[in-house]
Amino acid sequence: MIMFSKRLTELREFSNPHLRQEDVGKATGMSQRKISRLETGDVQPTPDEIVRLCRFYDVSADYLLGLTDTYEKCPNSDEKK
């Protein structure tokens, strides 16, 4: 899941330079520590966490998981959170 952790970090750093792991955690219902461990690849995301992160960043799971390099919006972006 190296691609996942890399994409997750890039999304946070490039979507908003002031966005902190703590901010992502609060918005997705996860702790800052969990976000940090996901970004470093220390833990694997659950399917529910993948969905929450995709909705937060408005990207497809395929993009977040590295199955495609095409930046695609989340299919259910109108149903965020």
Q: What is the pLDDT of residues 34-78, one digit of tens each?
A: 999 999 999 999 999 999 999 999 999 999 999 998 877 777 655
Q: Tell me, rounded to whole angstroms, the distance of Cα 43 from its chain centroid.
A: 13
Predicted confidence at residue 81, as pLDDT, reads 44
pTM summary value: 0.86
- Residue identified by tokens 């976000």 is 35
Backbone phi, psi, residue 71, to 5°: -70, 110
Contact partners, residue 24, CB within 8 Å, separation at least 6: 12, 30, 35, 53, 56
The domain at 2-79 falls in which architecture? Orthogonal Bundle (1.10)
